[in-house]
Structure formats: structure tokens, C-alpha cells
Structure 1
Amino acid sequence: MLKNEKAVVVFSGGQDSTTCLFWAMQQFAEVETVTFDYGQRHRLEIECSQAISRELGVKNTVLDMSLLNQLAPNALTRSNIEITQEDGELPSTFVEGRNHLFLSFAAVLAKVSGARHLVTGVCETDFSGYPDCRDSFVKSLNVTLNLAMDYNFVIHTPLMWLDKAETWAMADDLGAFDFVRERTLTCYNGIIGDGCGECPSCQLRSRGLEQYLERRTQEAGR
């Protein structure tokens, strides 16, 4: 644990950010979460974030980012835009500039609250080609934030090089496997837990879960 250190977790209440929250709670003396309301299809995402934060005893702040919806129409915010992914193109669920803006606003919140550490669940392994999930982007933004705010932030990305099976393994190692599986909301159709099983997010989550459970069974049999 980093004694006397505080972290802010960018938090959506999904599998990845909830795993990162459990990770942060083991690493830092104090943790709080920040959730962004950008007009996403399901208010349940915000409610889920608040409920998980409350249950785990950490402060949660919801910030209004509705301007993002106005600037970047996408399938996560507009019910009239179909969720699609064509070969060689970004999925229709990509929100332009989302992680850039989320981390920047989280940094302002962190500095005001005396935190130097930002934690985000972005990942370059299962990232669907999203440019703002890349390690190079996070490192670049970290430098930019430090210069812009004259403050020594550290952006942590515990999942950066993990696939979904390895993310499930991390949750299990943290003693949070059942919690993450049952309480989190990853589904694009707004179904908590194992989700609808049909949307791209559910399929990715389910495939990783099956792979991890298979590995766990094999290891237990040795």
C-alpha cells in the first residue's frame, strides 16, 4: 500500500473499472471514484457506479459531461444509432475524445481533493481499436497534465496489457470475482451481471470468463 497516498478511479461500474477499484483499494490509503454522465443510453450505469461505490465505502462524484454527447453522437448515447463494428473501422460505440476528457476532468477533481494518482481501466489488448485506450496516449496525457497543472500526477492502468481472461484472473486474485461478475454493468443493453449475451461487450466479457474458468479448472486439477 502507498501510505498517505490518495487515488481517484475513473469509474463506470463495469467489469474493468470495478476490478481497478478493488486494485486501487489495495494499493492506496484512500480511494474515491468519479463517474461521468455523458448522456449514455442507460442511467443504470450511473446508478450502478453509485451503488458499488457506496457498498465499498468510497466517495463517488458524478460529473456532467453532456457536452460530449452533443459533440460526438455515437451508439452509446443515441438509441437511433445501431451498435456495429465493420472490419478496419472503429465500432459505432467509439466516443471521440472520451478518455482524454474523462482523465482531464478526473485530474482536476484529483488535484482539488489532494490526490496524485489516477486509475483507469483502459486496455490495449481488448480495445477494439480505440485510439484513446493506447498506452502511448496515456503516457502522453500524463506528461501533459503534469505540465498543464504543475502537479505530479501518476496515471495507473492496471489492465493495460491484460486480455479479458486475465482481467477475470485479477479480480479473482483480489477476492472480487463474484462481486465483479454479479454486480457490474458491462452490457450495452443495460443488463447487470452476465448481461444480454449478445452485444459486443457481453460477448467479449463472456469469452474471457469462459477462458478464465477453463484455466482455473485445469489448474485446480493439477
Structure 2
Amino acid sequence: MKNEKAVVVFSGGQDSTTCLFWALEQFSEVLAVTFDYGQRHAQEIDHAKRIAEKLGVSLQVLDMGLINQLSANALTRDSIKVEEQQDGPPSTFVPGRNLLFLSFAAIYADAFGARHLVTGVSETDFSGYPDCRDTFIRSLNVSLNLSMDKQFVIHTPLMWLDKAGVWALSDELGAFDFVQDETLTCYHGIPASGCGTCPSCVLRNEGLQTYLSQKAGANS
């Protein structure tokens, strides 16, 4: 794969930044694409731009405001509380988001002669999001290839990793400190370790502590 191009679906968060470092090791040329869909933590786009610039990666920001017009959820509405739901995915689920993001990433990739798409979805820590499951990614990969008569390959380096595993991968890639200090995962738009209380921060920070404990145990 070293002589091929890839497009990373990129948000500037822990997962997509780890995937960006992974892609930079796997492919000869890496492009990144991020989406402005009216997300409540708009700082996400600024973080994505800064990280891409620091890593020397070309970043394209696509306007996906239509999502905000169609869907009411906690990621696009400040009036909706970030919370888990008793029945169904959490309030932060944006219906169709990964379907649209990967579809437009494929169109973007095709324009640059890239056939590899990289996304940070995970079925292990997927928070109940149906569009983070392996079966969805496989289905979409087939649909994209049929619809565009191409041979895209969607890569999901984090699919079977929990958050401790994601931290471990970033460490293996020599990106641990960068991911810890430079990324934005918090639902409230606070970088690095974030607010510490939203579901995204809890997942990130618990994973970090688990990985550090595992690493300390392995080195003792």
C-alpha cells in the first residue's frame, strides 16, 4: 500500500488522529477530509486544520449543513442534552452521518485517484451508534464500489480496539503525546483531556488510565 493514496475521514479527535498517523505509515500520499455539519463544538474544525497543518497533510473541509437541517440531536443542537438513552442510541447519534461522510470521502478520493478510505469507527466502543459497526462498513464498501464502478477499500484500524487499545496503537505509532495533547474529543469542545464528565471524555480518560496501568504492569 506504500505506493498508493488514501483519504482519511478526519475530525481532529483521538480516533481520527490516530487513524491519520496510521495512514501516514501505510500510504505514500494521504489526504484528509472533514465535515462542517453544524456541530455544537465547531472548534473541531479548527483543531482538524491545525493538526493537518502540523502533520503536513492536505485537508479539505466540506459543507454538510444539510444534516443540521434534517436531524435534531445533541451534536447539532445545544438545546438537547448529551445523554445515554434507555432504548436506542445516545442523544449524540447523528442519523446517516457516517453513510454521508464516507460517500463524500469516496467522491473526493476518486477525484484524486485514491482508492483507500480510512475511518476511525469502532464496534468495540461504538456507543450504540449503528453506523460504527463492521457490518455497516462492509455493506457500504460494496455499495460504493457498485455505485461508482470502483474498487475502494475502507480501512477501519480501530474497529476491534477498545479505547485502551486505541491509546496503545497511538503509542506504537509514536503519536501518544501528540494525540493526548493536540486532539479534541470532548462533546463540550474542550481539548486534550476535555471536561472529564461527558460520555466521550469518560470513555477517553478511562481508556487512557487502563492503558497506562497495562503498560506499567508490562514494564514492572
Who is 1:18 aligned against? Answer: 17
Who is 1:57 aligned against? Answer: 56
Shift of 1:128: 1.1
Question: Within 2, Cα distance between the matches of 1:93 and 1:43?
Answer: 15
Shift of 1:176: 0.2
The TM-score normalised by the length of structure 2 is 0.99
* Structure 2 residue 176 is the aligned partner of structure 1 residue 207: no
Shift of 1:43: 1.8
Question: Within 2, Cα distance between the matches of 1:118 and 1:58?
Answer: 15
Shift of 1:220: 0.9
Question: Within 2, Cα distance between the matches of 1:11 and 1:3?
Answer: 20
Who is 1:96 aligned against? Answer: 95
* SS at 2:2 equivalent: strand
Report Cα offsets for 1:63-111 as digits up to 9, x if no partner.
0000001111110111011111123321000000000000000000000
Deviating above 2 A after TM superposition, structure 1's stretches of 4 or more consecutive aligned residues are: 86-89
Q: AA paired with 1:138?
A: I
Report Cα offsets for 1:32-75 as digits up to 9, x if no partner.
10000000012210000000001000100000000001111110
State which drifts further: 78-87 or 198-207. 78-87
Structure 1 unaligned blocks of 5 or more = none
Report Cα offsets for 1:120-149 as digits up to 9, x if no partner.
000000001111001000000000000100
Structure 2 unaligned blocks of 5 or more = none
Superposed, 1:53-92 pairs within 5 Å as 53-92=52-91
**Equivalenced residues, count:** 220
Q: AA paired with 1:167?
A: V
Q: AA paired with 2:198?
A: C
The TM-score normalised by the length of structure 1 is 0.98
Question: Within 1, Cα distance between the matches of 2:86 and 2:209?
Answer: 25
Who is 1:117 aligned against? Answer: 116
